[in-house]
Amino acid sequence: MPPHVLFLCIHNAGRSQMAAGWLRHLAAGRIDVSSAGSEPADSPNPAAVEAMREVGIDIAAQVPERWTDEALKTVDLVVTMGCGDECPVYPDTQYLDWPVADPSGQSVAVVRPIRDDLKRRIEGLIEMLTDSTVPAEA
C-alpha cells in the first residue's frame, strides 16, 4: 500500500494544490496524495493554475476542501505550509512544515519561483518516502 501524503494550508488554493499536483505527477501513483485547508477558497488560485499549466500539470479542476479529522487520521504524512496554529496536530501522525511563500494575490511571475521551490521539495519528499520510512522527527 503506497504512503499517503496530505498537504495542508489555509485556503487550499495555491501552495497545497501545487504541491499535490507535483506529487501526483512526479510520483506517478507510487504515493497517494490529497490536500486540504482550514478555510478553503472557492476555487484554485488562477496564478497557481497558470504556473502549473506552464509545466504541463493541470490543477484547474481541483476543488479546495476543508481538512477533516477522519482524513488526518488516515494519512501517513501531513505537510503543512503557512497555516500555523490553524493546522491540526495529531500525536501519532508524522508532520513536515514547509516555509513556502504564499501565492495568494500574486502574479504568475511571482508564483513561478514558488512552483519551482515546491518541485524541489516534492522531489526530496518522493526520495524520502520511496527510499526509506518517514523519520520520526520530520
- What is the number of domains present in the chain? 1
Residue 132 has pLDDT above 90, yes or no: no
Q: Which domain holds residue 110?
A: 4-131
Report the pLDDT value the prediction gives residue 138, as an integer from 0 to 100. 43
Residue 83 is a catalytic residue: yes
- Which is the catalytic residue, given 49, 79, 83, 118? 83
Q: Is the pLDDT of residue 121 over 70?
A: yes
Residue 79 lies in a domain: yes
Q: Per residue in 10-54, pLDDT tens?
A: 999 999 999 999 999 999 999 999 999 989 999 999 999 999 999
From 5, 8, 51, 87, the catalytic residue = 87
Task: Indicate the pTM of the whole model.
Answer: 0.91
Asked whether residue 136 is assigned to any structural domain, the reply reads no
Residue 85 lies in a domain: yes
Annotation says 111 is catalytic: no
Give the active site residue among 5, 6, 8, 9.
9
Write the DSSP string, 19-66: HHHHHHHHHTTSSEEEEEESS--SS--HHHHHHHHTTT---TT----B
- Please, which pLDDT band fits residue 130 given cuts at 50, 70 and 90? confident
Q: What was the pLDDT predicted at 137?
A: 43
CATH number at 20 reads 3.40.50.2300
What distance in Å separates the CA atoms of residue 129 and residue 112, rounded to the nearest whole number? 25
* Among 129, 124, 102, residue whose Cα is nearest residue 16: 102
- Let me know: does 11 contact 69? Beta carbons within 8 Å: no
pLDDT at res. 114: 98
